[in-house]
Every structure is written in C-alpha cells, then in structure tokens.
Structure 1
Amino acid sequence: MKQSRLMSLVEAVANVAVGYGVAVVTQILIFPIFGLHATLAQNLKLGLIFTLVSLGRSYALRRVFEAIRVWTN
C-alpha cells in the first residue's frame, strides 16, 4: 500500500514531536555534565531548531524511500 505525502508528513510530525520532548529533557539533564548551562527558554529554543531540522530530514527520507519503492515495482 502506498503512503500519501500527507500521511508521510503526519507520521514525521508525530515522530518529531515526541523527539522534541525527549531532546529537551535530555539537554536539561546532559548539558550540565559538559559544563553547559542553559535556561529553560534556551533549551526549548534549541530543541525547536533541532526539531525543525529533524522534521525536514524525516520527511525527505520518507519521500526518498517511497520513490525507491515505486521505482522498484
């Protein structure tokens, strides 16, 4: 069954939304170990930047793999 572009985006957004929460919590716990001290607002903004990059990456890879699937059938 073929996945639509919209459903590819929905899946990527859901995946990245969960990843955002994990990333922010990880930053809050790990940054101090490396001597990095960021406010909650800074952690949220940094997490947002990484989330947007991850969203684009996830969507692009999904489309590449869908194109490969279509091409090989």
Structure 2
Amino acid sequence: MQSRLLSLTEAAVNVAIGFIVALLTQMALFSALGLRVSMDRHLLIGTVFTLVSLARSYLVRRFFERYGRGRG
C-alpha cells in the first residue's frame, strides 16, 4: 500500500515533467496558431493546468489505493 505522502510525491514528479512538456507544446501550438502570448502568461496558464492536474492525479491515486485493494 502506498502512503499518502508517496502518492503526492509520485503525482508531483509526474506533473512536473508534464508541466515542462505541456509548456513547450503550448508555446509551439500558440505560435503555430498565430496567438501571441507573453512568457508570463504561458507560465500562468501552465501553472493553473498543472495544479489541476496535480489534484486530479493525487485523487485518482488515492481512489485506487482505497477501492482497488484486493481486486485484479
């Protein structure tokens, strides 16, 4: 069984890597679509989505830890 702290740590590392990939993808996509956004705005947008992703990842992990035991 995974502790809550380890669940949060795993989710944080996963989301941090995802943040970098998403930020680079967002910058490339916005540029390709002709959308001009400052780096500050890119970072703000990326941060908001990263926080949502972190919460989602943690909650899904905890759900499976609670209800997934003994199944499979």
Q: What's the TM-score once normalised by structure 1's chain length? A: 0.89
**RMSD of the alignment, in Å?**
1.6
- Alpha-carbon offset, residue 5 of structure 1: 0.6
Residues paired across the two proteins, number: 72
Q: Does 1:28 align with 2:31?
A: no
Identify the residue that residue 66 of structure 1 maps to in structure 2: 65
Identify the residue that residue 11 of structure 2 maps to in structure 1: 12
- Alpha-carbon offset, residue 67 of structure 1: 1.1
- Post-superposition, which runs of at least 4 consecutive aligned residues in structure 1 deviate over 4 A? none
Q: For 2:64 and 2:33, how far apart are their aligned partners in 1?
A: 37
- Alpha-carbon offset, residue 64 of structure 1: 0.7
Q: For 2:7 and 2:51, how far apart are their aligned partners in 1?
A: 15
- Alpha-carbon offset, residue 33 of structure 1: 1.8
Identify the residue that residue 56 of structure 2 maps to in structure 1: 57
Q: What's the TM-score once normalised by structure 2's chain length? A: 0.90
Overall identity of the aligned pairs, in %: 48
Q: For 1:50 and 1:71, how far apart are their aligned partners in 2?
A: 33
Q: Look up the equivalent residue of 1:48 and give its one-letter code.
A: T
- Alpha-carbon offset, residue 71 of structure 1: 6.2
After superposition, give the CA deviation of every residue in 1:6-34 in whole Å (9 maximum; x if it has no partner).
Answer: 10000000000011111111111111222
